Structure 1
Amino acid sequence: MKVVYFLVAILALTSSLVSAYDPSPLQDFCVAAKEKDGVFVNGKFCKDPKLVKAEDFFRHVEPGKTDNPVGSNVTQVFVDQLPGLNTLGIALARIDFAPKGLNAPHTHPRGTEILIVLEGTLYVGFVTSNQDGNRLFTKVLNKGDVFVFPIGLIHFQLNVGYGNAVAIAGLSSQNPGAITIANALFKANPPISSEVLTKAFQVDKTIIDYLQKQSWYDNNN
């Protein structure tokens, strides 16, 4: 009998872990509807299937402008940009880089990322959690190369070539989220206490004050 209870407990745990990510759809599609009067819980409201059109599953992605402080532009194709992604558990992003352009260290709290380089040369990497010793894994990628960034881990891409670079990222959530580390820490609204940041980084308060005054650029659009 104890074995039965143990198996039930394991099944309950695994089912709860699975439900922590995008759930599997129970219909062919659930195109996201713009519902103003409902209560947002998780995901999106479904559009009436009889009103769904091919355009709900289509989006044209133009090259992003890279004339900005970080020299890169991330064009998101998440559920907010492509309603047909709702409940399908995937998303995409196009990343354009100017020479020496950087997609700054960031995380996707709800999705693993797989990246393929279409043009140029990128230096990419991710850092493991504290539990795994904050190890850094890096690789130089050329056209056609693929690299995976595990869910939730801090990662980055830097154009180390002499020309422009382009990459496409696939993500395992319809809305994986993006948290740029520097922006989150030094551009929080309202600001994080300088006492917290001073102790966290073990630097003088004047350095934290300086960092919080900077205009941290957000390259996601």
Structure 2
Amino acid sequence: MLLGWLFFVPTGFLFARFGKQLFQNQKLVGMPVWFQIHRSFTFLGVCCICTSIICIFVSTNFTWKGTGSVAWYWTQWHADLGTISTVLAVSQPLNSLLRCAPSNSQRKIFNWAHRITGMTSYTLAVAAIYVAAAKYRKTWSEPFMEIVLTSVPTALCLVTAVMVWMIEKRKTRDGGYKEVEMNEKSSSSLPSSIWTLETSQLLQTSWLFLVVGCCLLAATSLSLLVANGFKE
């Protein structure tokens, strides 16, 4: 569950949101690289989430723990948030089948519906994890650290969005990236305000993969913490 929500889903989002420009001319099996990564990781994320949900229901003998049950108040909240987020997550690959061509006038409607559904499902899922970390003290024994680790992917996605916005703003201010032949001018002779296209892409690509690695580390660390709590 944690790997699905905190690693696969954020990675799929990052490549969909920021990978288009970085890998726009690269293809994999006839499709853009960014789209293949986005589709693969989000699909793997949904598979992890659904598998976890099945395991949870099996462990509780298929007993509903959400609203209307006799379960603890916070258990009901956790179950409700988790169920809604899972339903929305499963709907994402299904509604993508309704995706129209980029030139279609209705494409913007699909894009926004897809984004809103994805962001809503992720927000609810993170909220469910927060509830578990803050209230399930028997198994989630390190609430502060667990909340911090849960927040890492969201924080990194926000930082990435701000960084890309600043780079694009600088590009607009400088009138576009200026490509400079390195054999004509050494890098030391270039004004600090001049950014080459290659420099920008290298920075963004390196940061993107660094963020993906951090998401994997956060999700794995949180999973180990929770597993250790169950063991104890």
Per the TM superposition, whether the score is higher than 0.5 is no
Write 1 or 2 for the structure with the bigger share of strand. Answer: 1
Q: Which has the higher contact order (CA 8 A, sep 6+)?
A: 2
Relative to its length, the structure with more helix (as a share) is 2
Give the TM-score normalised by the residue count of structure 2: 0.23
The TM-score, its normalising length taken from structure 1, stands at 0.24
